[in-house]
Amino acid sequence: MVVRIGIGCVVAVLMALGGCGDEADDSPPAGPLAGAMSDVGGGGASGSLGFGWLDPQLAEEQGLDARQVSDALLPNARTFVEVAPQLRSRFGFDPVSADRLVSVGGSYAFGLRLDGLDPRRLGRALIDAGGRARRSGSVELIKTGDYAVVPEPLLDAGVRGLGAFDAFGDRLSVLALSDRARATLLGEGDRLIDEPVYPAAADCLGDVVAARLVPDKQIVSTELGIQVVAAGVRREGHEVLCALGGTVDRADEVADHLEAGLAPDASDPVTGEPVGKSVEASEVTRDSYDGVEVVRAELTLAANEPPGYLFGQISGASVVAWINGTARTYAQ
């Protein structure tokens, strides 16, 4: 049964589910995920941006390796985590030691921001490789090629897709494929957190250590009748899926679809395998946050399922079928 929670939810439910919507309070939620959204642009009238976030220290506290949940960062941005040993040995630049990693993009990352690292050796290597540098306020901007070019120092280290338009400051690094993506990750323009669906997503996800947010049209180019799908890893064996936006009636439909699709005896809509092979249990709840309709599914994974299950289900289109209540629509 889908649990529907109003603003009068009791303390016990608050503690179990990480909060409940309060339409009278329009302040952004607290926490590191919301803080990351507050520090990047991409909002405004046309704000609809894919967003990835990973906190390596929080992941470690929950017994997870950052590499296990790096799919949160979108393809090509996660290569910085995959090749962290090479970047550390060549430039003293270790993405796994960053305070946080933030990516923006669509089906792939347009850029990656890393906070808490010393970027000086990497910046010098990019300039030595032909990068043109100039100051802009507190950061040094470096351009090493045209759109989507990967400069040789990063390419040799195994990085893919990013690095032509970069910015380095005091323990701040941005590596992007365009000047627009760089500006977004530097926080220029309207903030992403000021678009109502994004704080609603942060509130829904709660105390996750890694998260991926995808506007509905970026998920296999399919209209879902909602605005954003968000997924996050809380700790070993526990993950959260959120469907945000749309009408009240549509959100109620999505809640019913998720409850049915995530039942252990249901079939995965893509592979046909029993969902119970990967998901031991799930609980679906309905709520709203500052006027945004929210459907939340908290999953307990089976013992043999590695972290990041939901990130893979977004990429593989199972999430689309769950939300729409379809079966094997995308089966190969």
Give the helix ranges, DSSP H, for 4-134: 11-17, 32-38, 56-61, 79-82, 84-91, 120-128
Cα(193)–Cα(26) distance, integer angstroms: 12
Tell me what pLDDT residue 136 has: 96
Tell me what pLDDT residue 26 has: 55
Tell me, yes or no, if the pTM score tops 0.85: yes
**44: three-class secondary structure by DSSP:** coil
Tell me what pLDDT residue 15 has: 36
For residue 233, which of 2, 22, 61 has the smallest C-alpha distance? Answer: 61
Cα(266)–Cα(273) distance, integer angstroms: 9
Residue 27 CA from chain centroid, whole number: 21
Tell me what pLDDT residue 317 has: 83
The residues of the chain scoring below 70 in pLDDT are: 1-26, 45-47, 220-222, 327-332
Cα(302)–Cα(255) distance, integer angstroms: 22
323 contacts 256 by C-beta, under 8 angstroms: no
E strand intervals along the chain: 3-4, 50-54, 100-105, 109-115, 132-136, 139-143, 165-169, 172-176, 210-215, 228-235, 238-244, 279-289, 292-301
Which residues are paired to 331 by β-bridges? none
Tell me what pLDDT residue 220 has: 65
